[in-house]
Chains A and B, each alone.
Chain A
Amino acid sequence: MSYYLQVATFICISGILGLSVYLVLSTGQLTLGNAGFMLLGGYTAGLLAIRLGWPIWLTVPAGGLLAAVVAVPLGAATLRLRGVYLAIATLGFTQSLVVIANNLTITGGALGLKDIPNLAARLQRFLRGVLAEAPLGLTMAQFANLLVLLISAALLGLAYWLIVRQGKSRVGRAFTAIRTDEVAASAMGINTTYYKVLAFAQGAFLAGVAGGMMAHLTYFIGPNDFGFSRAVEMLVFVVVGGTAVPAGPVLGAALLRALSEYLREAKDLRLIVYGGLMMLMVLVRPQGLLTPGMFAGWRRRLGLGPRRPAPGKGAGA
């Protein structure tokens, strides 16, 4: 039981990671740097908890915030580059962070950080203090894991809702315009650099939060948890699930993480499947499984009209 709860929890974290890549992709940029931001968030949260005793609800956002702060100058420097250069530069960023984490003593070097306060364990201790027995006939440990899942799902839900909301606003229109035709967007008065850096920093924040959560969900994190394969994995969630709607990366994360649980012993096999899926999707269905068109279709079928503005005045001013 606890096992399935944990798998579901990791699916939620993966969903957040997928959304972090999606957000940057929604301005037409391919980033491989969110694994690096995840590393920053994870180590920050872990170190704040271990060294300064900060509670988990502070360390995780702090991790996200640090990642976002680092993302701004990094983005400003690299976002002048065309897509291809950006992917390479962000991949280099991720790899540089792995190397640095491998070498610094404060990060524990190659051995990483261990004995990070664990969210489930903390909750369990807390619950034992206030409840005589766990509800729903679960053990205390299972109930704690359930709460962890609910927290992770809530974070995922919040991230999703924020992205959907933003997508329908002036900022969202700017993102889409930049993704579709950056030159035209600029000519229409959109400060493309600002919005690209904004998306990049927002993605970094999400990735940092995911990293912080990851640190508190496993007792140990190491540099190799955040390298190239992690960066590619996040990307695959979006490429498979859907590149143009926020539900896409969430679906992709769910499907692929479930698949990888099924293939758990063979990490290399999993990566072969991911790589193959990326190649396949690009050729066969570049928009991914979920497309905006599908949503429009479902709206029609449910009898909800397409989104229209209130009938405005006719000709004129």
Chain B
Amino acid sequence: MSALLRVQGLTRRFGGLAAVADVSLAIEPGEIFGLIGPNGAGKTTCFNLITGLLPPSAGSVEFAGRSVVGLAPYRVTEMGMARTFQNIRLFGEMTALENVLVGTHVRLRAGVFGGIIRTPSVRREESAARERAMGLLDLVGLAGAADLPAAGLPYGRQRRLEIARALATEPQLLCLDEPAAGMNESESRELMDLIRKIRERGVTVLLIEHDMHVVMNLCDRVAVLNFGQKIAEGTPAQIQVDPAVIEAYLGRDDGAAD
């Protein structure tokens, strides 16, 4: 009962095909948990199911003891789960700082009147939010890019910006979808350091990754999906030698995703 995220029997069917079939996971607070599997194994679909972007066909998802099935995505974020996207969905025309400020939205209170009539408490809230946003940009190494449009940033920095934006929602669980995609070795190492720092701040991390180097060195535990089903779960060392996992990856190189 202490699991931060408890997923049981999670299933999602499209027509006759089950993209996710009977997946169960329990993620403990403070963990860095990896979700791996060949392309098309259903990992991103799992994310979408967990964060409310897609309703499950069956199964339950409990976050901090409360069911989140059927909740709108913004409510899930309110409850403390945040995510990044496989294809990076930043607000391109907004600056890096503004992107992170959007992340702060859920923890601020100013409404229409507050926006127009800037009472002292609204102004305090805004400036605190900006400080926090700058702090997060600093954490991910983007403080200098605060006023640059997000769409103009190089790929690796965009990924980090997306992480900063998700962190601005003050999540307890951060779900990262292939954060190391397209990164070279030194960028991946910086990313791993960043994720460890995030864990130190008290945020539990669930990540989808193809880069085995990242997964093996970063994750406390790993679950392996194939064809929508969980085929193995354990420490990186354990799943590395699991025959079902080896078979699923037969012939595939580890390394960064395309």
Q: Given the known A-B contacts A187-B73, A189-B74, A189-B77, are A173 and B135 also in contact in the complex, defined by CB atoms under 8 Å?
A: no
- Contact check, B115 vs A188: say whether CB atoms are below 8 A apart: no
Cβ–Cβ < 8 Å partners of A184 in chain B: 85, 89-91
B92, B97, B126: the one contacting A180 at CB < 8 Å is B92
The number of residues on chain A lying at the interface, defined by a beta carbon within 8 Å of a beta carbon of chain B, is 38
Q: Given the known A-B contacts A176-B91, A308-B146, are A170 and B106 also in contact in the complex, defined by CB atoms under 8 Å?
A: no
A98 to chain B, nearest CB (A): 31
Q: Within A202-218, which residues are at the interface with B (CB < 8 Å)? A: 202
Nearest residue (CB) in B for A189 is B106
Most chain B CB within 10 A, of A185, A198, A308, A312, is at: A312
- Binary flags per residue of B155-170, CB closer than 8 Å to A gives 1, else 0: 0000000000110010
Docked CA distance A264–B15 (Å): 58
Docked CA distance A180–B93 (Å): 8
- Contact check, B89 vs A170: say whether CB atoms are below 8 A apart: no
Q: Given the known A-B contacts A176-B94, A184-B85, A188-B106, are A170 and B130 also in contact in the complex, defined by CB atoms under 8 Å?
A: no
Docked CA distance A307–B146 (Å): 11
A139 at interface, CB cutoff 8 A: no
Nearest residue (CB) in B for A305 is B147
- Binary flags per residue of B33-72, CB closer than 8 Å to A gives 1, else 0: 0000000000000000001010000000000000000001
Docked CA distance A166–B82 (Å): 26
B160 to chain A, nearest CB (A): 14
- Contact check, A190 vs B53: say whether CB atoms are below 8 A apart: no
- Contact check, A308 vs B115: say whether CB atoms are below 8 A apart: no
Q: Given the known A-B contacts A169-B114, A171-B110, A174-B105, are A187 and B53 also in contact in the complex, defined by CB atoms under 8 Å?
A: yes
B102 at interface, CB cutoff 8 A: yes
Cβ–Cβ < 8 Å partners of A188 in chain B: 74, 77, 82, 102-103, 105-106, 165-166, 169
Cβ–Cβ < 8 Å partners of A187 in chain B: 51, 53, 73-74, 77, 82-83, 85, 89
A310 at interface, CB cutoff 8 A: yes
- Contact check, B97 vs A309: say whether CB atoms are below 8 A apart: yes
A252 to chain B, nearest CB (A): 20
Docked CA distance A202–B116 (Å): 13
B123 to chain A, nearest CB (A): 11
Nearest residue (CB) in B for A306 is B147
Docked CA distance A202–B83 (Å): 31
- Binary flags per residue of B98-126, CB closer than 8 Å to A gives 1, else 0: 10011101111011101110100000001
* Given contact pairs A177-B102, A187-B89, A188-B82, a sample of 18 additional A-B residue pairs in the complex whose CB atoms are under 8 Å apart: A165-B116, A166-B116, A169-B110, A176-B93, A176-B94, A176-B98, A186-B74, A187-B85, A188-B102, A188-B166, A189-B74, A189-B103, A189-B106, A190-B74, A191-B74, A312-B134, A314-B138, A315-B138
Q: Which 6 A-B pairs have the closest CB atoms?
A: A189-B106, A169-B115, A189-B77, A312-B134, A309-B130, A184-B89
13 A-B pairs within 8 Å (CB atoms) are namely A162-B116, A166-B112, A173-B94, A173-B98, A173-B105, A183-B89, A188-B74, A188-B166, A309-B131, A309-B146, A313-B131, A313-B134, A317-B135
B residues adjacent to A (C-beta < 8 A):
51, 53, 72-74, 77-78, 82-83, 85, 89-94, 97-98, 101-103, 105-108, 110-112, 114-116, 118, 126-127, 130-131, 133-135, 138-139, 143, 146-147, 165-166, 169
A residues adjacent to B (C-beta < 8 A):
162, 165-166, 168-174, 176-177, 180-181, 183-192, 198, 202, 292, 306-310, 312-317
